């Protein structure tokens, strides 16, 4: 523990999990992730925030979504101490059987399928590597993905570090395996999000960054 009694804390954020469980269709999408970390852990020292995401494909139903994402990533890049790690986003079509096909009609249909790959593996890997290297006294994982439980359990039991789960879903509890692998669980509330917003405009070396319309 640091001399001041404040735990040196790294925060690992599963970007898509956070978005779909806490941010989608809200007014909180222009989120300052460093401020969020400090709001969630005000008694500790934030050493690093790692954000795991993937670049979106253009979709006919939401053609401006990739552009808005790039604006947001540019805003995040203004934060010292924040790292962005990329997986990949894969779109395509899959044929799926119908549960109750009508007589004489096709028994399956083509559906558009979008899948983000790699973020959970990247997060677990970085969590373990940073733990081996003594980069933190406490790791905080913002996700409800139970696949992270194994890496978290090793950090807690094998490396002797504190592991906090921040549950981004205000309506449901964390998966049992995920909660069991943590030292403790925190809930992410709207009040945390409200206090952690970027200003409507920022600047970087390129120029002005403006909050996307509708956000």
Domain count for the chain, please give it: 1
Q: What is the pLDDT of residues 59-113, one digit of tens each?
A: 666 668 899 999 999 999 999 999 999 987 655 556 778 777 778 777 776 555 5
Residues 6+ apart with CB under 8 A from 124: 147, 148, 150, 151
- pTM for this one? 0.87
Going by pLDDT thresholds of 50, 70 and 90, the confidence category of residue 119 is confident
Q: Look at residue 2 and tell me if it is in a domain.
A: no
Q: Which domain holds residue 174?
A: 8-210
CA–CA distance, 69 with 77 (Å, rounded to integer): 12
Residue 19, in any domain of the structure = yes
158 assigned to some structural domain: yes
Whether 1 is in a domain gets the answer no
How does 129-140 read in b/e, with b if 16+ C-beta sit within 10 Å?
A: ebbeeebbbbbb
CATH of the domain at 162: 3.40.50.1010
Whether the per-residue pLDDT at 41 is higher than 90: the answer is yes
pLDDT in tens, 124-181: 999 999 999 999 999 999 999 999 999 999 999 999 999 999 999 989 999 999 999 9
């Amino acid at each position: 523990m640091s001399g001041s009694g404040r735990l040196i804390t790294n925060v690992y954020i599963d970007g898509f999990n956070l978005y779909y469980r806490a941010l989608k269709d809200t007014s909180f999408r222009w989120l300052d992730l460093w401020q969020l970390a400090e709001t969630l852990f005000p008694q500790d020292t934030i050493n690093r925030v790692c954000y795991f995401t993937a670049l979106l494909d253009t979709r006919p139903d939401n053609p401006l979504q990739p552009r808005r994402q790039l604006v947001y990533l540019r805003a995040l890049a203004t934060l010292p101490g924040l790292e962005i790690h990329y997986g990949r986003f894969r779109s395509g079509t899959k044929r799926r059987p119908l549960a109750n096909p009508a007589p004489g009609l096709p028994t399956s249909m083509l559906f558009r399928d979008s899948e983000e790959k790699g973020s959970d593996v990247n997060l677990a890997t970085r969590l373990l590597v940073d733990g081996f290297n003594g980069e933190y006294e406490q790791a905080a994982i913002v996700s409800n993905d139970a696949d992270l439980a194994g890496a978290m359990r090793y950090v807690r039991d094998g490396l002797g570090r504190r592991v906090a789960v921040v549950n981004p879903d205000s309506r449901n509890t964390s998966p049992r395996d995920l909660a069991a692998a943590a030292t403790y669980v925190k809930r992410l509330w709207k009040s945390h999000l409200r206090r952690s917003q970027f200003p409507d405009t920022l600047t970087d070396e390129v120029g002005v960054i403006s909050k996307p319309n509708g956000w």
